[in-house]
C-alpha cells in the first residue's frame, strides 16, 4: 500500500491540472542507480502497459510498474514547506539506507547499482 498525504495530493493534483495532455496520472517507480543503489521515479504519464498496476489514492490515479511494487510497499509521500521553498518527501519502510538528499535507497535484500557520483 502507498500513502500520499493530503498536502502532497493537493500539490500533485494542481500539477496534473496544468498538464495539457488528457488522462494524465501519477507514475511511481524505482530505477537502478543513485548514490545508494535505487532511485525513486515520480512523474506524470498517460501510457499504461501490461506491466503496470493502478490504484486510486486521494482521488488520483496512481500507476506503478509491477517490478517496483516490492520496493514501494508502505511508501509514504508527503509535501513539506521550508521557508520559501518546499518539496516532496518520501518515507520508505523498506529502505535500510538512504542518501543524504533522500532520492535513492537500498533495501536489506537488494543493493541496486550505486553510482559513484555523490547526489
- Write out pLDDT tens, residues 58-109: 999 999 999 999 999 999 999 998 777 789 988 989 887 776 665 667 676 6
**DSSP track, 4-72:** E-HHHHHHHHHHHHH-SSTT-EEEEEEEEETTTEEEEEEEEE----TTEEEEEETTEEEEEEGGGHHHH
Q: Is this model's pTM higher than 0.85 or not?
A: no
Q: What's the pLDDT tens digit per position in 27-44?
A: 999 988 777 678 889 999
Q: What is the pLDDT of residue 25?
A: 97
Amino acid at each position: 500500500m502507498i500513502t500520499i498525504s493530503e498536502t502532497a495530493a493537493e500539490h500533485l493534483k494542481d500539477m496534473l491540472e496544468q498538464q495539457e495532455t488528457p488522462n494524465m496520472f501519477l507514475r511511481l517507480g524505482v530505477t537502478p542507480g543513485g548514490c545508494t543503489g535505487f532511485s525513486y521515479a515520480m512523474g506524470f504519464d498517460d501510457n499504461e502497459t501490461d506491466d503496470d498496476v493502478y490504484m486510486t489514492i486521494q482521488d488520483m490515479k496512481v500507476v506503478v510498474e509491477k517490478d517496483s511494487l516490492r520496493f514501494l510497499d508502505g511508501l509514504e509521500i508527503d509535501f513539506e514547506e521550508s521557508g520559501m521553498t518546499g518539496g516532496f518527501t518520501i518515507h520508505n519502510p523498506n529502505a535500510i539506507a538512504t542518501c543524504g538528499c533522500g532520492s535513492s535507497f537500498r533495501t536489506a535484500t537488494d543493493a541496486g547499482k550505486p553510482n559513484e557520483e555523490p547526489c
